[in-house]
Structures are given as structure tokens and as C-alpha cells.
Structure 1
Amino acid sequence: MTDKQAMGTSGGTAGTSGFSARALTALLLTAIFLFGLVRITANVYSYIADRQGAGLATSPTIAWMLEGSSLAAWVVMMIPCWFAVGRIRPPRVPLPATVAIHALLAIPVSLGHIALMVAFRTMLWWTMGLDYDFTSPDGSPILYELRKDLSAYAELVFILFLVQWLVARYAAPPAKTPERRTLAIGDGSVTHHLPADEIEHVAAAGNYVEVAWRGQRLLHRATLTAIEGELAGSGFARIHRGRLVRRDAVRRVVTLKSGDFDVEMESGETLRGSRRYRENVEG
């Protein structure tokens, strides 16, 4: 007597040995955001130190609001930048053209960053009952921010290009869902298209075959040999010259003294098998 063991899973490429494209993208972008937090932390303490060195009053809260609003604005602007990098990069676009296009894009991206940053700061200052004044040390706040943003945009474009390259190169391909195989069974005036993995067993019945499917018996005009050919590669095995069973549906094999055997199916039905075919379900 043998009991069929439950099938285990060994995991596929996308499941255990690599990240999906979405997961890898999220991981890398999170790493970029955390790097941004580290940078603004350094900027906050540098700002505080510079203000104190100049003998000016300083507030850590204001410093964090200034740097945090800039980072938040860049996070939003990262969305159009992501799509721009995806479409304008080598080898899709020649390198000189890529550099020229991104140099032009840096201006509207920077203006968008400035607008968002000022909007965030205005709201933050409003919550504190204050008015935000958009100024700069040189008296030209937009040009002052543009100069800083050009280098920030170049850095962001390079990082996003690197992220997209890493995802394209190292992300695990999506698992392909195998096409479900079906068998056309004509039962009287009705033709059933049965998934092969739902057919439990097939038995010869004269010029017909009897197909066991979901507790029903469908009578189809065909030979068992012909059906066996159609089901080749679908996990069916012959246990008798007049019977096929789906191996995955076999729950137990009981060997008899005569050498023949009985197979207990998942439906609870017991079928007799011939000893010459025993290795088909026990192997």
C-alpha cells in the first residue's frame, strides 16, 4: 500500500531568487528617499551652524521646515522626471540629444520644484500663524533656487537612469501563467470544453468513452487511445487497458495479492487497475 505524498513548492525565480520589477523599483526609490533624508539632516545642521556663526537667531523647527519642504517638492517632481528619463535616455535617444533635452527640461522641472516648495512652506508657515516670505541672500530668489536646482536635477536624472537600468537588468521576469489545456467532449447535443486538470478519469465504453468530470459522467464518441493521445502531457496515466486516470487525482494505491491494484481517487471512487500498468501510478 502506498499513499501519494503532497506536492511541495520549490519556488520560482520571481518568488524566491529575485525581486519583481515593481518590488525592486520600490526598494531602490525608498533607498533614494532615505538618502535624501540623510542629506537634508546634514543641511539642517549646517544651516543652524551658519546662522549661529553669523550671530543670527535660528530655530531648528524652521530649519527642518525649510529643508523638508524642498525634499517633499522633489519627491513630487520625481514623478515627471521618472517618465522623462524612461523616454529620453540612451540608446533610445543618442547621448548628445539626451543631454541637450534634459538640459532644457531642467528649467521647467526646477520652476515646478520652486512653486511646490513655496506652496508647502506657505501652508506650513500659515499653520504656525506666520507669513512666509520667499527671499534669498542675493535678492533674486528664483535665480538663486534655479542655480541650486540645476545640479539637483542632473543628479536626480542620473540616479533615476541608474534605477531603471538596474530594474531592467536584474528584476526577475514575471511568472508566466501556463495556458490551461482543455478537451472538447461531445455529450449528446452538447459539447463541453473541459479543463484537463478537472477530469478525474476516463473509461472505455464500446465505441464511446465515459469521462468523469465534477461528479458527472459524460459519454463521448471516441476511442480511449484517441483520448489518451489528446491528453498526452497532461498528467494522465493508463491503469487498465480500458481506463485512464489523472495522476494528481490519485489519493491511494492498494496492491492486491493477484498483483492487480485498486486506486482511490480524490472523489472517493475506487478503480481497479491491471498489474501491467501499476508502475504508471506508483513510479
Structure 2
Amino acid sequence: MAQGRLPRWRTSSRLLVWAAILSATAVTNALVQVMDSGRHGTALALWEPLVWEFSSAGAVLLTLPLLWWGCQRWPLHVDTWRRLLPLYLLASVGWSLLHVVGMMVIRHLAYASLGHHYQDDDGWLQRFAYEYLKDVRTFALFVALEHLAGWFGRRRQGEASLLAAPDVGPPVEPVERPQHFLVRKLGKEFLVATEDVEYAQAAGNYVNLRVRGHDYPLRITMAVLELRLDPLVFLRPHRSWLINRGQLRSIEPLDGGEALLHMADGAKIPCSRRQLPLLRQALAGG
């Protein structure tokens, strides 16, 4: 399983929670629209605002996994938010466009299934501009919540860092080839031996270190981490993965020249076609 991604059950649970929140909001907004229509002396059947609201909520739900993936792929940090802000602004336009198109398709289908024809008095450009002014706030809210949840998750899960050279005196161990990682978790610090790292997977600006069933995100690139680890112990079967050769149990060849590496904890890690011969050579040499 790719450790840098959310488990499927967790994604489904989050979607169910947001589906409940958006559904409650849609029903409330629809009732308010019917009451406002009655106060102004015009009749409005309840099914129409329900279609309007649920079409919008449904389109949002369909695009949430894509938004979450983007937040994990390009996480915002103190030293990266200025560089990534234009990317997120551009993404908000694309997300809003998907929302509007999805919403309009759902409305047309819903009206047609009820024997009616949906008519939008606004043109597409005017409709998109109107919706974007609302969507950009929703987009910013979801992005903020996703990063806030990620921050709390890392605090609870623990975040690793490389041992730095001390200000005074010689380092306890070689800094260039660390024997331990420092893990901060819920205000406490402890050391994790490098040899206990079973494998590592790139996840955006982080690399997740797998240690005894736990993932510890380390803010580093995979290329830099590979240089810091002992090449006799850690092998690079894929551009997004490093493995501890002592945790490798078997190699399963696949069609096309790739392979799956079966690890001691049951994980299946991809090995690229280019790296497979190098991996076998390294294992034979060891």
C-alpha cells in the first residue's frame, strides 16, 4: 500500500462526513429559499431549490478527492506558500470550473428526469464569474482545513528530522551518515535508529519513514535522503521509494519488466523496469 496516500477507508469516511454536512446545508438553504419566495408573494416548489442546492453539493463532493490530492502533492509551508500561492489560485479557477460544469449537468439531468426543462437566465461566462466568487472562498476553506488536519495529524503521528551538528563540541555520530532520526511527537522527542527504517516513500515535500507499523514524515527530498543513507543497506527500487534490504522478503516479476517487492510487514512496493536489474545486482553483490 502506498503509505503517502490516505487509506481508502479514511477517504470514504471523510467523504461521508462532508456529504452529511453539505446535505444538511443544502436542505436548510432550500427551505430558506422557499420561505423567502413565499414572503415575496411568489410560489416556489420545494423540489427546485433542492435540485439547485444538491447539484452544487454533489459537484463539490465529486471534486473533493482531487482537491485533497493536490493539497498532499503540494503542501503549503512557511517557506513555500509564496511560491505555491499562484498555483493554488490557478487551481481554484479549475476547481470552480469543474464545480460549475458538474452542477449544471446534474441540474439538467434532474429536471429532465422530472419532466421539466432547466433554464438558466445567465450566460455561461456570467454564471461562472458569479459562482467563482463563491467557490474561491469554499476552495480556500477546504484547503485551510486540509492543511490544518494534516498539521494536527503530523503532531499526533510524529515528525522526523535529521540530527544536526551540535553548536558546541563534536557530533555524537556522523551527521553525513546518520545512525538515528529525531522524532517529535506530541511535545516529546525520541530517537529512531536508521536501521529500523523498513522503507520510505516520497509524499510531496516529505518522505514517510516506515518504522514498526508507524509512518514518520521527514521533510526532505528522496534524492537527498538517499545520499544520507548507507547504500549497502538502503536500495532505491523506484523513484518514490527506498527500501531496507534486510526487510525485503521476495521479488514478484510483472509483465513489462517491472516487479513488486514483498516486504516483511506485508507491504508491496513497486520496482521500476530500469531499477530491477540494479536491485538484483546489488542483492547478489551483498
TM-score with structure 2 setting the length: 0.48
TM-score with structure 1 setting the length: 0.49
Larger RCO of the pair (alpha carbons < 8 Å, separation 6+): 1
> Rg larger in 1 or in 2?
1
